[in-house]
């Protein structure tokens, strides 16, 4: 071979390798499209018939009974029909395949076969959903995107009352959007990543025209770090009762304003008349419910529970939003907890210590997500199962931001902290920090 041609070929190969290794580090999605996607599609198409047959995803419309020498014999039908793949499309870290179900089939066997499909296609995980009747969508991810999640591009400048808190397993941004889902329940064992998530929420909401209010009955040790950007902070249940009570009165005032203006929510009011949205962050809900058994203590907990429930029921349209975090959630905390949970449509379940908490957090909405939440291990801090609008639920990981950084950011936006006049009386009377 001509030595010049050889040198050019070698240089081209070296350049290609360099580009690929750069892509791997900087644009993992492109790296996947260039190196992994095509072989994966070939594997999917080549193995589909076998996978379908072995996992009872194929059907036969012939009888499985035959007459052999005058005897009726029952066996496995030979002519199996395999449901058709309706096209494969790339995802940033995997692929998605639509399958048209055959008459008589349901999505359940496909969901149960997820693990087998993941092995056959050599994928990290497979998720099966049914976006519409007669169709299942199989989404496969090639590697665990939550090992080292990168914040997706183009997530700067999120809309009002929404916060990018991390990355989804599907490669998209993990968005907590209070306009779409007004109230959230955040659960996780100790050191599972709850405070980091709350901090991330504060960080994202700090620049927005939103009042942040903290309830941290652990003496304000966690939320106190962001005090400069909080419009109020309650550090005991007594203070929380005062705060919630004032918010309930404010909600009633807002209701009257909306009624007067024939508006069904504050968002239908003219911008200049619209009251500021309030996001109430509660760290450790159990502190609000547990009592020492004394009459006064029980009455205080009941009052607190009633106010919270009212905020949950009425706050959504009136711009009062709840984020309730806790290590565990169960009906043993008090009868108000289950009723409150029904109001908290957004759910985030980190690693939990008891199956009951995972069930309580996700089970009423998505039974299949409970088992997934229980597989999160102690090394996966920040990983959670969260509710998501189009796919029901999804695994996600919060973006790790140190508390120092968030505290600095809270101080930087201190001048944007709205003054909540309806809390003045309580603050002046010393009932609120
Ligand atoms: N998204 C994340 N990515 C990587 N590491 C994380 C993430 N979130 C949390 N961690 C790690 O886990 C540690 C504990 O997190 P965090 O304090 O948020 O947990 P927690 O659930 O609030 O615990 P506690 O209930 O004890 O306050 C953090 O110091 C950090 O090292």
Query: Is residue 112 located within the same domain as residue 227?
Result: no
pLDDT at residue 241 greater than cutoff 80? yes
Query: Is residue 175 located within the same domain as residue 128?
Result: no
In this predicted structure, what is the pLDDT of residue 71? Answer: 66
In this predicted structure, what is the pLDDT of residue 409? Answer: 94
Query: Where is the domain boundary, 84, 111, 141?
Result: 141
* Residue-range definition of the domain harbouring residue 167: 162-428
Percent of residues in the chain assigned helix, strand, coil, to nearest 5: 45, 20, 35
Q: What is the mean pLDDT of the chain?
A: 89
Query: Is residue 397 located within the same domain as residue 273?
Result: yes
What is the whole-number distance in angstroms between the Cα of residue 373 and the centre of ligand 1? Answer: 17
Query: Is residue 77 located within the same domain as residue 171?
Result: no
What CATH number is attached to the domain comprising 256? Answer: 3.40.50.300
In this predicted structure, what is the pLDDT of residue 116? Answer: 92
The residue nearest atom 20 of ligand 1, judged by CA position, is: 191
Q: Which of 1-5, 42-46, 258-262 has the lowest mean pLDDT?
A: 1-5
Using one digit for the tens of pLDDT, what is the confidence trace for 78-135?
Answer: 678 999 998 899 988 899 999 999 998 999 899 889 889 999 999 988 888 888 899 9
In this predicted structure, what is the pLDDT of residue 429? Answer: 77
Q: Which is more confident, 85 or 63?
A: 85
Query: Where is the domain boundary, 112, 141, 170?
Result: 141
389 lies in some domain: yes
Query: Is residue 360 located within the same domain as residue 279?
Result: yes
pLDDT at residue 406 greater than cutoff 80? yes
What is the whole-number distance in angstroms between the Cα of residue 146 and the centre of ligand 1? Answer: 15
In this predicted structure, what is the pLDDT of residue 66? Answer: 64
Query: Where is the domain boundary, 83, 111, 141?
Result: 141
Using one digit for the tens of pLDDT, what is the confidence trace for 134-168?
Answer: 999 999 988 887 887 776 665 667 889 999 999 88
Query: Is residue 252 located within the same domain as residue 333?
Result: yes
9 lies in some domain: no
pLDDT at residue 68 greater than cutoff 80? no
What CATH number is attached to the domain comprising 134? Answer: 3.30.980
What is the whole-number distance in angstroms between the Cα of residue 174 and the centre of ligand 1? Answer: 17
Tokens of residue 123, six digits: 């994928």
ipTM of this complex > 0.95? yes
In this predicted structure, what is the pLDDT of residue 152? Answer: 64
The residue nearest atom 18 of ligand 1, judged by CA position, is: 193
Torsion 331-337-339-345 (CA) sign: negative
Query: Is residue 361 located within the same domain as residue 292?
Result: yes
Ligand 1 pocket, residue 200 CB under 6 Å: no
Query: Is residue 124 located within the same domain as residue 209?
Result: no
Q: Which of 132, 142, 128 is nearest to 57 (CA)?
A: 128
What is the whole-number distance in angstroms between the Cα of residue 278 and the centre of ligand 1? Answer: 25
DSSP letter for 387, please. Answer: E
pLDDT bucket at 76, cuts 50 / 70 / 90: low
Percent share of the chain, pLDDT over 90: 61
Mutation test residue for ligand 1: of 190, 191, 224, the one with most atoms within 8 Å of CB = 191
Query: Is residue 105 located within the same domain as residue 134?
Result: yes
In this predicted structure, what is the pLDDT of residue 64? Answer: 62
Q: How many domains does the chain have?
A: 2
Q: How many CB atoms lie within 10 A of CB 134?
A: 12
Q: 3-class SS at 150?
A: coil
Average of pLDDT values for 70-85?
Answer: 74
Residue 188 labelled as part of a binding site: yes
Query: Is residue 137 located within the same domain as residue 166?
Result: no
In this predicted structure, what is the pLDDT of residue 232? Answer: 95
pLDDT at residue 212 greater than cutoff 60? yes
In this predicted structure, what is the pLDDT of residue 67? Answer: 65
Residue 158 labelled as part of a binding site: no
Ligand 1 pocket, residue 194 CB under 6 Å: yes
Distance CA 144, CA 128 (A): 17
Q: Which of 254, 261, 260 is nearest to 277 (CA)?
A: 254
15 lies in some domain: no
In this predicted structure, what is the pLDDT of residue 178? Answer: 96
6 lies in some domain: no
């Amino acid at each position: 071979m001509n030595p010049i041609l050889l040198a050019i070929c070698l240089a081209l190969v070296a350049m290609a390798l360099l580009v690929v290794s750069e892509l791997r580090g900087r644009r993992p999605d492109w790296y996947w499209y260039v190196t992994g996607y095509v072989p994966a599609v070939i594997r999917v198409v080549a193995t589909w018939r076998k996978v379908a047959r072995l996992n009872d995803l194929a059907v036969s419309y012939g009888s499985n009974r035959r007459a052999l020498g005058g005897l009726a014999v029952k066996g496995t039908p030979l002519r199996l029909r395999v449901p058709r793949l309706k096209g494969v499309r790339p995802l940033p870290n995997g692929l998605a395949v639509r399958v048209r179900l055959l008459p008589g089939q349901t999505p359940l066997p496909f969901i149960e076969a997820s693990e087998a499909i993941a092995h056959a296609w050599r994928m990290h995980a497979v998720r099966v959903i049914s976006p519409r009747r007669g169709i299942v969508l199989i989404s496969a991810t090639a590697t665990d995107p939550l090992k080292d999640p990168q914040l997706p591009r183009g997530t700067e400048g999120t809309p009002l009352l929404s916060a990018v808190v991390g990355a989804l397993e599907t490669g998209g941004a993990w968005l907590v959007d209070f306009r779409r889902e007004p109230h959230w329940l955040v659960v996780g064992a100790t050191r599972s990543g709850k405070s980091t998530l709350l901090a991330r929420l504060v960080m994202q909401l700090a620049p927005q025209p939103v009042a942040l209010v903290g309830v941290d009955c652990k003496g304000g040790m966690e939320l106190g770090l962001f005090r400069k950007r909080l419009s109020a902070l309650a550090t005991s249940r007594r203070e929380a009762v005062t705060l919630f009570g004032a918010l309930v009165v404010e909600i009633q005032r807002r209701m009257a304003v909306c009624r007067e203006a024939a508006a069904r929510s504050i968002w239908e009011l003219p911008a200049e008349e619209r009251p500021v949205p309030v996001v109430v962050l509660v760290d450790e809900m159990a502190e609000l419910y547990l009592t020492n058994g004394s009459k006064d203590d029980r009455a205080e907990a009941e009052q607190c529970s009633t106010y919270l429930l009212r905020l949950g029921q009425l706050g959504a349209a009136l711009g009062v939003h709840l984020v309730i975090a806790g290590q565990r959630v169960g009906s043993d905390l008090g009868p108000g907890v289950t009723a409150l949970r029904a109001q908290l449509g957004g759910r985030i379940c980190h690693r939990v210590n008891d199956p009951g908490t995972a069930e309580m957090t996700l089970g009423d909405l998505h039974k299949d997500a409970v088992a997934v939440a229980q597989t999160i291990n102690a090394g996966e801090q920040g990983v959670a199962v969260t509710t998501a609008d189009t796919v029901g639920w999804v695994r996600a990981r919060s973006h790790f931001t140190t508390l120092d950084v968030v505290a600095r950011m809270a101080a930087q936006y201190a001048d944007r902290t709205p003054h909540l006049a309806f809390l003045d009386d309580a603050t002046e009377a010393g009932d609120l920090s």
